[in-house]
C-alpha cells in the first residue's frame, strides 16, 4: 500500500521532520503557537493550509501587545495547556 511504502522510505529517518498521513502523504511536524489570532489564521487559510493539521495551529483570542508579563503570566499560561496536548 501507499502508506507502507511511505513508511519504509529512508528507513524511517524522515519521521524526524515529517509525519505520514493515512493517505501516505508526508506532512511537516510543526506546531504553530501565537497569542495573536490573525497570524495563525493566515496559515489556516493560506496557500499551504493543507500541509498542517488544524490541531497543530494554536492561537488565542487576544494579543499580548508586546507585553512580556501579559504573555508569560496570563495569556501564555492559558495557551501552554493546549500546546501540551499536542504532544
| Residue carrying the nine cell digits 529512508 | 10
Based on the domain organization, do 79 and 63 belong to the same domain?
yes
Among 22, 86, 87, CA closest to 56: 86
Q: Are 65 and 43 part of one and the same domain?
A: yes
Residue 12 has a pLDDT of 65
Q: Rounded mean pLDDT of 69-82?
A: 78
| Residue 10 and residue 20 in one domain | yes
Which domain range does residue 21 map to? 1-30
Angle at 57 between CA 55 and CA 62, to 5 degrees: 120
> Is 72 found in the same domain as 84?
yes
User: Are 47 and 62 within one domain?
Assistant: yes
51 neighbors 27 (Cβ within 8 angstroms): yes
Indicate if the pLDDT at residue 10 is higher than 60.
Answer: no
Is residue 1 very low, low, confident or very high in pLDDT (cuts 50, 70, 90)? low
Q: Residues 18-74: pLDDT tens digits?
A: 888 788 888 888 888 888 888 889 999 999 888 888 888 888 887 777 777 777 777
Which of the four pLDDT bands, split at 50, 70 and 90, describes residue 3?
A: low
Do 51 and 85 lie in a common domain?
Answer: yes
Helix or strand holding residue 34 (H, E): strand 32-34
Amino acid at each position: 500500500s501507499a502508506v507502507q511504502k511511505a513508511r519504509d522510505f529512508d528507513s524511517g529517518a524522515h519521521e524526524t521532520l515529517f509525519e505520514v498521513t493515512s493517505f501516505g502523504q508526508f506532512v511537516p511536524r510543526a506546531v504553530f503557537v501565537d497569542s495573536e489570532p490573525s497570524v495563525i489564521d493566515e496559515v489556516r487559510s493560506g496557500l499551504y493550509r493543507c500541509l498542517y493539521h488544524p490541531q497543530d495551529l494554536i492561537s488565542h483570542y487576544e494579543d499580548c501587545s508586546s507585553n512580556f508579563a501579559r504573555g508569560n503570566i496570563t495569556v501564555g499560561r492559558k495557551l501552554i495547556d493546549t500546546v501540551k496536548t499536542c504532544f
